[in-house]
Amino acid sequence: MLEQFGGANGELAAALQYFTPAFGAKQPHSDKYDMLMDIHGVHQISIQMVILQKINKQPCF
């Protein structure tokens, strides 16, 4: 579980990789802001799925 969240290649790092630049693109490029936030949302959902599977004690992927 820690491998999926932490480290340079974890889901959290991937989510933040798209979340941070989205705010810089919000005013001048609103279409790119939407795209970056959509990608960020996919990574956030993946993190939530892993947490819920651990709470319910189901095997991950």
Q: pTM here?
A: 0.60
Residue 34 belongs to what H/E stretch? helix 30-55
Q: Is the pLDDT of residue 30 over 60?
A: yes
CA distances from residue 22 to 10, 31, 40, 59 in whole angstroms, order as listed:
19, 10, 9, 33
Interacting residues of 6 by C-beta distance below 8 A, sequence separation 6+: 12
Split at pLDDT 50, 70, 90, the class of 3 is low
Query: Over the stretch 34-48, which tens digit does the pLDDT of each residue have?
Result: 888 888 888 787 777
Query: Over the stretch 6-22, which tens digit does the pLDDT of each residue have?
Result: 667 777 787 778 788 88
Give me the residue spans of the domains in the chain: 2-55
